[in-house]
Structure 1
Amino acid sequence: MAVQTTTHGAGRVAGGSLRVGFLMVCAVFFGLPVVWLILAATKTQASIFSDHPLSMGSLGNIAQGWSNLLTFNDGELVGWIWNSLYYAGSSVVIATVLSVPAGYALAKYDFAGRKALLVLTLIGMIIPTAALVLPLYLQMNALGLLGTPASVILPLAFYPFAVYLCYVYCTTSLPDSLLEAARVDGASEAALFFRIVLPLSKPIIGMIFFFSFVHAWTSFFLPFVMLSDDRTFNLQVGLMMLLQSTDAINAEGGFAALPIHQPEAALAALVAVAPVLVAFLFAQRYLTASDVSGAEKG
């Protein structure tokens, strides 16, 4: 018995060590490029090639790099950042306002066409976004919205994954007995939704906010097709134009007069990633399951 217990204990220790080792390898594999990107923004054009890849430069180089980025088209980078915030923020609000009641209705109401809507939602999740760009382009052109912010915001607000998330959450985490008890107490369907469902749905609303924001903020192909004026570009499309127009990655065809090189490219990449990190920090406290065990009367 003692030998068997010792064997099981050694197996658990070995299994735990393997898991820890695997996670450490993954952390190094995925984290090392991010560390290099941060450190590269602190270096100069010369030191980024001569110094150790993981050496630290000067924080003053970050300020100088940002100043160099602003030399492109008279600081157009700032406008791209505001455009991205506007496109992403607007689409997130619309997607959340539409997906939460839609998911709740699909989960808790039985009506004609419910199963068909669920199937269409799943199909909308499966279809690659790039496959929808051409039909959306034709649709926006027919509506006269091509080249406007609406041609980016409205397609991004169509987010079937958010509807499905809310549907799954309401199905598994909102007990029918709680809703029936509220109806017995005289609550209307509107009061039921706003006073009970929404307060208990904060975790899924936080998830919808995060995923829809990341979806909108990182969108490239859709705004690339819809927008033609560089003043309306979002950050992703604008950075492509910036990098192609300088010698940061294109030494052959760039404008040598602009002081934008590899350190500035690394800094621009950090600017593009930072809002996603901020959105995660804002939403993480909601990314846990809600506790509705005490919501029902005993």
Structure 2
Amino acid sequence: MAPTPCPFLWLNDQLLPADSPAIMAQDRGFLLGDGLFETMQLRHGAAPRLEAHLARLEDGCHTLRLPFPGRDTIRQALPHLMAANSLTDGSARLTLTRGPGPRGLAPPVRPHTTLLITTAPPSEQSAPPVRLHVSTQRRDRQAVLNRVKSLNALPAILARMEAREKGADDALWLTHEGEIAEATAASFLALLDGQIVTPPLSAGILPGISRGRLLSAGLCTERLLTEADIPKFQGAWLITALSLTPVAAIGTQALPLQPEQTGRLRHFLYDAS
């Protein structure tokens, strides 16, 4: 059964019904993907990793030369929206665009950003194990958009479509140098030589919040991984701010599911206070 939609959203500085017209037709986020987003967990009436998400959003704004709305603006909006939607647990998505502008690629000299926040109730089930397809796309390690949560998702959409056509659930990106990077919307973890490892940022990956927490806690380490390492993996996972998903196979290589490790990681990331 699908979760009940939340009836309200937050747009710029006000609470609005979720089914009301909200975004201007000239908004550059809608027309050009000119913006950023963050998705975060909501738990016990708060966003426990809010400051980490705001720090990444602020860094992304600096990279894209996008005005940052200010942390207090978002800190104050979230409780109002959660209360209006009678939500204590679930998720929130924050979308920030450069706002409306004239035709063409050049942004306005003084942009008026659009800030949209939506919430969703928690998923009722843990994500089932997935099969990954090694994408024919290759990740440019130096691309600036690797480091931000950009609204430009077409490469990921095409990679996911290719994976579905190959009978897989998601795609695993490699760099041009053959290094494992990440999935289309998740960081990648592997169990190798009895240790949980994750590709370094130099592989052209997003600095994931959950990934960073595991590194800080000493629950995983950074290590360059290549396609040649896949047969050696003793397990693998995809992680986001909201979920940890075991990987059942990469291409034709089946992987052990490691339920004990999965439970331990999931508890640390999403259940522990």
User: Which TM-score band (shorter chain)?
Assistant: under 0.3
TM superposition score normalised by structure 2? 0.24
Q: Kindly indicate which of the two structures has a greater share of residues assigned to helix.
A: 1
Structure of larger gyration radius: 1
Higher strand share: 2
Q: TM-score, normalised by structure 1?
A: 0.23
